[in-house]
Amino acid sequence: MLLSRINSPEDLKRLSKVQLPLLSEEIRKKIIEVVGKNGGHLASNLGVVELTIALHRVFNSPEDAIIFDVSHQCYVHKMLTGRYEKFSTIRKKDGISGFTRRTESPHDFFDNGHASTSISQGLGLLAAWELQKKNGKVVAVIGDGALSGGLALEAMNHAGQLGKNLIVVLNDNKMSISPNTGAVSKYLSKLTMSGFYQNIRHKIDLAVSKIPNSSRHIGKFLYRFKRCLKALFLCNNFFTDLGFEYVGPLDGHDIGELEKVFRNVKKLKGPVVVHVVTKKGKGYSPAENDPAAFHGIGPFLISDGQVEHFDTMSFTECFSQSMIELAEKNEKIAAITAAMAKGTGLDAFARHFPDRFFDVGIAEEHAVTFASGLAAGGLKPVVAVYSTFMQRAVDQIIHDVALPNLPVVFCLDRAGIVPSDGETHQGMFDIALLRPVPGLKILSPATAEDLKLCLQWAFSQNCPVVLRYPKSACPTELKCFSRKVENGRGVYVSCEEFALNLSLKFDGSGFEGNVPDEGASEDERTEKKSVKKDGKNKSMLFVATGSMLSEVIQASRSLMIENIQADIYSLRFLTDLDIDEIFSLAEGRDGVVFVEDGVRSGGIGEALEQEFFKRGFRRTAVKALPESFLSQGTRSEICEATGLDPRSLAECAYKVVYKK
């Protein structure tokens, strides 16, 4: 097996050209096998096998930097840079990340997970190296979709201006970029990248620069002459207009041709774009036929590509259905997403209402400001984006939507804890970022029915509204969540409402070992024993964001078995709270625990605890996400690591209730 013998790019370079197709086949088999078990980004990685092999055979990583935009297509790169033995752990707790990570390997230069960053990163890295007299090539590998992001376009403009030797590999696997065609075009592309052409061009430019007084005019003439000459034989394109040399398009699955081109490109002076055409999902027919479905996918059957489906509806599916139902009744509802129609559930909306659906590409800032225009024009736009990606458009939310008080609805999928994708995808900052924005209302629905009602309420408002919900299955419906949405009010859930199937009675019997006495003093243990003996019940209240309902219910059940009546107040609203209502439910109880799936600093739990302190109620605790970046794992594993699992919540509540 060739792949098992490669521990570094140097090992890869020792392989003969005859062995490379066999290596490509082995890599594809390994990716399909592991992603079939772990889930992950399949189609994009199958499409860059030959491209990644060619890059590592020509360039000298890590002396040369290969930067993958988004980096969800870095699986091949990881296997070729010494991580083959660990590849089966990808996206698992304590395993390697599904994205590039600086802490994993010197071959990973950045912690990437968001799109359109690689050209900016590469240009900055190259400028730093040059200032420190360090030799080394910098290659930014960016997909055609990521090139639609404003950050990438800003970086391209700057790179053309600086004229540094940056190599941008454009991996074209979907978007139609007008290619140069014909024999003359291919010849001129090869001529443009040849050392001979570059030397002649450099000498002419140098000679012209030495002509006194008239160099500026001659320079303009030569520039225009070259543009006219190129226009006779090939279409000038966006890249040449920005000051880049352009090479391509090339077959991204022909290793020999790619290596030849990259070796020539290494000799060029100035920025260059190498346009490579690849096929997403190559080598696995289900992914080739439906690359969107296999972009980011859960575990699947390798034989036919089928993903296991569960009976329980997810929040994304509920949002998808609710949008269609509401849009059928309201022709003013429009939907916007940033290249995530399937991930956000808006693909169904697009099929039903194509005229009211807008996919703006990877351009979250534009999505928000575009929505402000739709709202100003009388529509009711919904911007559906993952929470982690909406971070990129906070200024637009504030300046273009909240300031003019326009009725835009933001639906933040993957809010809170996000399994598998790791640090760059956790939706843990949206509450702290958006709560202070004047006039912006934030809702946190807890069930499928709750999400539908909250969305319906959002459309009835004449102000901006945010709905945040997790990447998880919706909890079993509770009748209390069918109550209509009232401004600022949450949903009170009595513990009896979810305990009917447990046949629990508050008879003082308790349940040994369910909530351990870790951390409790001897006096506290004695007090607990006396309470049980006397049959007295303690009472506490969980105040939680909607997406934590499942974990809080499980914690409440544990406490009920321990003779602690644990009711829940689900925070439908995270802004404009009815503090009096919450406090009235807490008064007379033995403790309150605030629970949220966002960072503690600037979060709702911290704010509520301060308000309770002002009112003299101090038997409280806040359970929130820490101010640290959370690595990958399942939802339950991340909850356990951060103290938001049911057991930890129950232990925290117990300590609050029995606190002196």
pLDDT one-digit tens code per residue, 243-280: 888 888 889 999 999 999 999 999 888 999 999 989 88
Element (H, E) at 623: strand 620-625
Tell me whether residue 245 is one of the annotated catalytic residues: no
- Asked whether the beta carbons of 648 and 552 are under 8 A apart, the reply is no
Class of domain 315-468: alpha beta
Position 2 scores a pLDDT of 86
Which range among 157-166, 224-233, 381-390 shows the weakest confidence by mean pLDDT?
A: 224-233
Distances (CA, A) of 144 to 70, 330, 441, 518: 12, 35, 36, 54
pLDDT of 307 over the 80 cut: no
Domain with CATH 3.40.50.920 in the chain: 490-657
Q: Which of 415, 447, 419 is nearest to 568 (CA)?
A: 447
Which range among 57-66, 107-116, 326-335 shows the weakest confidence by mean pLDDT?
A: 107-116
Burial 317-333 (b: 16+ CB within 10 A, else e): ebbbbbbbebbeeeeeb
Position 540 scores a pLDDT of 94
CATH code linked to domain 490-657: 3.40.50.920
pLDDT of 348 over the 90 cut: yes
**Which one-letter DSSP state was computed for residue 314?**
B
The token duo for 484 is 């209509």
- Asked whether the beta carbons of 170 and 216 are under 8 A apart, the reply is no
Banded model confidence at residue 148, pLDDT cuts 50, 70, 90: confident
* Catalytic entry in 50, 245, 364, 596: 364
Q: Both ends of the chain: CA-CA distance in Å?
A: 65
- Asked whether the beta carbons of 121 and 100 are under 8 A apart, the reply is no
- Asked whether the beta carbons of 379 and 415 are under 8 A apart, the reply is no
* Catalytic entry in 78, 392, 528, 538: 392
CA pseudo-torsion sign 312, 316, 322, 327: negative
Reported residue count of the chain is 660
Which residues is 623 bridged to in the sheet? 595
What is the phi-psi region of residue 441: left when phi exceeds 0, alpha when psi lies from -120 to 50, beta otherwise?
beta
Tell me whether residue 532 is one of the annotated catalytic residues: no
Share of the chain above pLDDT 70, in %: 83
**More confident of the two residues 633 and 408:** 408
Distances (CA, A) of 564 to 265, 530, 570, 646: 71, 14, 19, 15
Whole-number Å distance between alpha carbons of 442 and 488: 10
Burial 541-566 (b: 16+ CB within 10 A, else e): bbbbbbbbbbbbbbbbbbbbbbbbbb
The token duo for 428 is 């843990």
The token duo for 70 is 């988004």
Whole-number Å distance between alpha carbons of 282 and 45: 9
Position 607 scores a pLDDT of 93
Domain with CATH 3.40.50.970 in the chain: 3-180+237-285, 315-468
Which range among 158-172, 514-528, 565-579 shows the weakest confidence by mean pLDDT?
A: 514-528
- Asked whether the beta carbons of 27 and 79 are under 8 A apart, the reply is yes
The token duo for 621 is 């605790």
CATH code linked to domain 3-180+237-285: 3.40.50.970
The token duo for 407 is 């009725």
Order of strands across the sheet with 620-625? Answer: 491-493, 564-571, 538-545, 591-599, 620-625
Query: What is the DSSP code string of 543-609?
Result: EEEGGGHHHHHHHHHHHHHTTEEEEEEEESBSSS--HHHHHHHHTTSSEEEEEEEEESTTSHHHHHH
- Torsion angle in degrees (nearest 10) through CA of 499, 502, 504, 510: -110
Which range among 204-213, 367-376, 409-418, 527-536 shows the weakest confidence by mean pLDDT?
A: 527-536
Position 352 scores a pLDDT of 95
Determine the longest span between alpha carbons in the chain, in angstroms: 103
3-state secondary structure of 232: helix
For the entire predicted model, the pTM comes to: 0.82
Whole-number Å distance between alpha carbons of 219 and 570: 69
Supply φ then ψ for residue 403, to 5 degrees: -60, -50
Strand ranges (E), 495-548: 538-545
Tell me whether residue 280 is one of the annotated catalytic residues: yes
Q: Which of 566, 557, 623 is nearest to 589 (CA)?
A: 566
Supply φ then ψ for residue 64, to 5 degrees: -100, 145
